[in-house]
Every structure is written in structure tokens, then in C-alpha cells.
Structure 1
Amino acid sequence: MSQCGFEFAGSEVVAGVDEVGRGPLCGDVVTAAVILDPSRPIQGLNDSKKLNEKKRDRLYDEICEKALAWSIGRASVEEIDQLNILQATMLAMQRAVHGLNITPTLVLIDGNRCPILPMRAEAIIKGDGLIAEISAASVLAKVVRDREMQSADLLYPGYGLAEHKGYPSPIHLEALARLGVTPIHRKTFAPVRKILESLNFVGGRAVN
């Protein structure tokens, strides 16, 4: 049984799937798929956005240790620009599920739509706060992507990526206008596209 009273048949192998990074202006969209071990419950799982960083980091380690299987999937900035963010997210979810070393019989996905998968799948709105497997996937995906944005902040200083994680905060938008567009920015997203349209750019980085 998952948290909050959702029950599954004893024969079901349930994987939870969630994504992080649909809204940011830069970086990959990251997804995770998790199959929990009923004999090794994990306390404190919840929507990763409702947990502080310290708790997410602790849960990340515990999930990686206790889960029967887990996998990270992603779609690159180039794929996001080519496919659009929705289709890139579906692709990243497929990759996460296919990366599991145990094949689930049922995949529960946070949100209102499912990627095409070879097994039964169900979308659950606000599932990251309702289903333990999805909560675990939410934590893994957020910790992985947040850490990647912290690393990107070292490569591209001045944008504040470690703080806002690539979301279109005033600091980020001001830095984009002042410093230009980096290779990890999503060129089809409106704030980035507008800068590229108004400036000449060389080598993937916009300059006056």
C-alpha cells in the first residue's frame, strides 16, 4: 500500500514517476522512476517542493539505499527546443521507466497525462503529495537537477543559477539581458528567444 490510503494488488509492481524542470529557462528536464520496497518503508516522503533542502538530501540517500529500483531520465536542452517541453518531458519519463532494472506492472505518474509505455500507466494530479512512489521520484529528480544547477553556476557565474535553479526570477532575467544567453539556455522559451532576436549571437552566447 502507498501512503494516503491508495491500495494496490499484492502482485502489482508499482513505479512512481515525476519530473522537475519544466518551467526553468535553462538546463535539462529531469525525471525519476522509483519502485519502493514495502518491507523497508521510508518515513517523511512528500512532494519535494514541500521539503527543505536538508530533508530532501537525507531522503535522497535513503531512497537510493532502500528502493528496489530507481532510475533517472532526462531530456536535453536541444531536445526541449526541438520537441517542445511537454514532449521532451514525456520522453524523459519514458527513459526513466525503461532505465529501471525491475519492470513495473503499473506506473503512476504525477500530473494529468502519461507517456506511451509498454505497461499500464495512470496519471494522478498532485500525486507527488499522495503516492509514496511518486513522492520518492519527486525527491530524486529535484535533488539531481538542483545539484546540476549548482554545478552550472560555477560554469556560468553571474546568473544566480544555484539560487533560482534556472527559473525566470527577476535576477535571472536581468542577468540574461546583461550577460546574454549561455549554451544551456532553452532558446525556444520566450524570455530567451526575445533576447536572441534582439541581439547577434556568436558561438551560442549572445553578445551586443
Structure 2
Amino acid sequence: MVAPEPLWQASRTGWFRAGLTIGGKNDIVANEDLFREDAVNLIAGADEAGRGALAGPLAAAAVMFEPGVEVEGVNDSKALAPGRREELYLEILEAATSVSVIFTDSCLIDSWGLQTANLKALADALAGIEPACDCGICDHYSPSGLPFPTYGIPHADSRFHSVAAASIVAKVERDRVMRSMHRRFPRYNFEHNKGYGSREHMEALVAHGPCEIHRLSFSGVADAAVEMPLWENQVEL
């Protein structure tokens, strides 16, 4: 099925349709209501976590709420303390009509490339929403090949309620994975850095080389792999 022509278009100053313009960060619920003026009832928001990490999976989540349902306090996950994210995560799971989470491991990221992996993860997360949504809103990147229009809107994770919720779900789910990876590979302190390139993480890479969940195509990891091949760094499970 081919998606219908998008009703909203991008411009240099933002997204618009028929004189309406998507508002700023204070309009997190009202912005989605603008889409509903076009008889778009079911809106799913999608976002990813772990795009810039050197190790671990990319997590993509999609969240859909019934019109009028709001989880108070939902915002871009990066603006929330970890404890508050966990609280909102549980509230989102209870309030949402549908939640879908996709993990893409480091081997697939290395094989496909980061952008392809990112777009596929967002598409798969949106495709997992049931019942199917009328449109999908994503932070920055818009996947293709879905039977409904999708919109990649800058800073959507702080401008749309469902995208903000998806950012929280993706972040919490990925952080849990990285805490479990810390138990397998404690020398990298994944529990603290979540696979991102902190100073201690980079020092561990230099000292020990990469482990099996590092993204070998990423700068820094690739250099460490040359110095100390992956097979020299395995641990017993």
C-alpha cells in the first residue's frame, strides 16, 4: 500500500499547512491536535535512543495515545532525571493505546550503516503499533515504506506528546539493556556511560580493546580494534 500524500510540508521556518504552523516546545499536546484537524485521529510518535553510542543496540520506540489522553510531565527524555524517566515510563505504558519497541544490535548497525539502521528501526517500531495509526511523527528522521504518512520534524521529542513519550520509552528500555551488559563487560562501566564515549569508556577501549557489543564501524572503536582485536577481549558468560 502506498502512503497518501502528506498534508504537512516543511519550510525554512518550520512545518506548515494551510496557514497553520506547528508551535514551539510549550505546545506539546496542542501540536498533535493540529494534525487531528485533518481528520487524523490516531497519531503515533517515534524516537530512538543510542544513536551516538559506541556500544550497545539502537533502541527505537513508537507510542500511540487515544485523542485527549495525556501523561502529565512527559517531555524529551534528555531533559528528565533518570528516576523521573522511570516513573513516566510506567505511566506511559499504562496510558498508551499501543507501545512498540525495536532493538537493532551493533552488528547490524555496522553492516547497514547508522542511518539505514536508524530509519529501519523507526519504521519497524511504527509498524508494530496496533491498531495501525493514521500518521507517524518522528524526531528528525522520517522512515519510508509505511502505509501511512510519516513526518520527520526537528526537536519533535520536545514538541509532540507522543514523540516525547516514545523518547522516554526508548531511553528507559535501552538503559536497562546497557545495565545488563555492564554485568557481562564490567571493565567499560556501561552502567554509567550507557555505551557513549565518556572519558573512562575511551580509556577502557584503549586499555582493553572492544567487546562484542561495540560498534566496530565507529571512529575510536575501529582504532581500538586495530590495536587489540575483538577476539582477545572476550569474557566467559
1:114 paired residue number:
142
Aligned in 2, Cα 1:195/1:133: closer, same or farther, shift over 3 Å? same
Does 1:148 find its partner at 2:148?
no
Q: Residue 5 of structure 1 aligns with which residue? A: 30
Identity of aligned residues (%): 33
* Change over 3 Å in CA distance of 1:201–1:159 after alignment to 2: closer
Rg larger for: 2
Going from structure 1 to structure 2, the CA distance change for 1:102 and 1:204 (only over 3 Å counts) comes to: farther
How many equivalent residue pairs?
204
Q: Is the 8 A contact 1:27 1:184 kept in 2?
A: yes
Equivalence for 2:72: 43
- C-alpha deviations, 1:150-187, integer Å up to 9, x for none? 11111101211111110011100001111221100001
TM-score (norm 2): 0.82
Verify the 8 A CA contact 2:212 2:230 in the aligned structure 1: no
**Deviation string for 1:49-84 (max 9, x for gaps)?**
000011100110011111011100121111100011
**Helix, strand or coil for the counterpart of 1:8?**
helix
Cα distance in 2 between the residues matched to 1:75 and 1:201: 20
Distance in 1 between residues matched to 2:110 and 2:233, nearest whole Å:
14
2:44–2:63 Cα contact (<8 Å) kept: yes
1:3 and 1:79 mapped to 2: Cα distance? Answer: 34
Q: Stretches of 4+ moved more than 4 A in 1?
A: 203-206
Structure 1 CA distance for aligned equivalents of residues 29 and 80 of structure 2: 18
2:219 corresponds to 1:190: yes
- The TM-score normalised by the length of structure 1 is 0.93
Unaligned runs of 5+ in 1: none
Distance, in Å, in 2 between the alignment partners of 1:5 and 1:201 is: 49
Contact 2:42 2:65 in 1 (8 A): no
Shift of 1:36: 1.2
Give the equivalent residue in structure 1 for 2:17: none
Read off the aligned partner of 1:190 and give its amino acid letter: S
2:49 maps to 1:24: no
Say what the alpha-carbon RMSD is for the aligned residues.
1.7
Asked whether 1:91 is paired with 2:117, we answer no
Q: Secondary structure at the match of 1:16?
A: strand
Counterpart CA distance in 1 for 2:83 and 2:138 is: 25
Q: Could you list the runs of 5+ residues in structure 2 that have no partner in the other structure?
A: 1-26
CA distance in 2, matches of 1:61, 1:200: 41
Aligned residue for 1:33, secondary structure, equals strand
Question: Residues 74 and 95 of structure 1 are in contact (CA less than 8 Å); yes or no, is this contact kept in structure 2?
Answer: no
Q: Is the 8 A contact 1:32 1:72 kept in 2?
A: yes
Match for residue 199 of structure 2 among 159, 162, 170: 170
Counterparts of 1:190 and 1:144, CA distance in 2: 25
1:203, distance to aligned residue in structure 2 (A):
6.5
Distance 1:188 1:204 in 2: 17
Q: Secondary structure at the match of 2:100?
A: strand
